[in-house]
Amino acid sequence: MAEQVRQDLIAHDLANASTAGYKADRATTRSFGDLLLQDTSSGAAVGPLGLGAQIATQTTDLTPGPLRTTGEPLDFAVEGDGFFAVRGPNGTRYTRDGQFRVSADGTLVTARGDEVLGPNGQPVRVGAAGNVAAGQIGVVALDAARREGDSLYTGTPRAGGAAGTVRQGALEGSAVDAITTMVAMLGSLRAFEAGQRVITTIDSTLAKSTNQVGGI
């Protein structure tokens, strides 16, 4: 089950290998528990017996991804830490995806239609020529950032925290390295298959003990 969860995370990362501003998820495992065995006749300690593994934590790696120049006036990237603040139906959220566009009412919005907020917390207005200055875009440093969907995050804005600078005409690429992620997927798949073989072997042993030994 732990490797199945890991496979799902890796597959989701691969599906977003070209998504601007996407951050990869990481899962760590720990022992489900140990039984301390002892000799029933003498009471001498035999040693621990592991009961398997489980997912201990699931976190998002917020390391900044590589920046690529697009030349588009409404593409923005954060150099360093920090997030763009956007406002949608569920309130203010944060994103590293700076692929913006102009809404029907002349404000700067994300691809899903959320309003991009400036340093003053108000929607950014797009000029008559269709341009927006980098200084109009607000950047927020977050504490306890948590993923909400593929590109949105929640968290607590950090007062006075270094939030990076805005670079116009560029986008932050996905932080997923496809080759490294594929290698991780193959390793996880082999571990999953090994677990299946162990379960099959145990099941066969139990069947023999029940049918053959029990018959004798």
Comparing C-alpha atoms, which of 123, 111, 125, 118 is closest to residue 140? 118
Report the alpha-carbon angle 48-51-55, nearest 5: 125
Same domain, 83 and 147: yes
Instruction: Judge if 116 and 80 occupy the same domain.
Output: yes
Same domain, 185 and 110: no
- Give residue 34's pLDDT: 77
Strands 83-88 and 115-116: antiparallel
Beta pairing class for 165-168 and 101-102? unpaired
**Together in a domain, 120 and 77:** yes
Q: Report pLDDT digits (tens) over 88-143.
A: 998 999 999 999 999 999 999 999 999 999 998 999 999 888 889 999 999 999 98
CB–CB of 107/115 below 8 Å?
yes
On whether both 84 and 134 belong to a single domain, the answer is yes
Range of the domain at 121: 67-172
More confident call, 184 vs 215: 184
What share of the chain in percent tops pLDDT 90?
45
Q: Which amino acid is at 69?
A: T
Tell me the pLDDT tens digit for each residue of 48-87: 887 778 888 888 988 888 999 999 999 999 998 899 999 9
Q: Three-state SS for 40?
A: coil
- Phi and psi at 47, nearest 5°, equal 140, 180
Average pLDDT over residues 133-155: 90
Q: Does 86 lie in the same domain as 158?
A: yes
More confident residue, 149 or 104: 104
Domains: count for the chain: 2
Are 113 and 139 part of one and the same domain?
Answer: yes
Q: What integer pLDDT is reported at residue 11 of this predicted model?
A: 92
Has residue 159 got a pLDDT over 80?
no
Per residue in 106-139, is it b (16+ CB within 10 Å) or e — as a string? Answer: ebbbbeeebbbbbeeeebbebeeeeebeeebbbb
For residue 29, which amino acid is it? Answer: T
For residue 37, give every residue at least 6 positions away whose Cβ sits within 8 Å of its Cβ, in sequence order, or none. Answer: 45, 46, 47, 48, 49
Q: For the chain, give the mean pLDDT.
A: 88
Based on the fold, state whether residues 90 and 183 are members of the same structural domain.
no
pLDDT for 78: 93
Q: Are residues 126 and 49 in the same domain?
A: no
Q: Position 150: which residue type?
A: D
Q: Same structural domain for residues 16 and 77?
A: no
Q: Are residues 157 and 97 in the same domain?
A: yes
| Mean of pLDDT values over 4-11 | 90
Rounded Cα distance between 77 and 74, Å, is 10
Predicted local confidence at residue 214, as pLDDT? 65
pLDDT for the residue 97? 93
Residue 16 predicted with pLDDT over 70? yes
With a CB cutoff of 8 Å and minimum separation 6, the contacts of 32 are 50, 51, 52, 53, 54
87 and 156 fall within a common domain:
yes
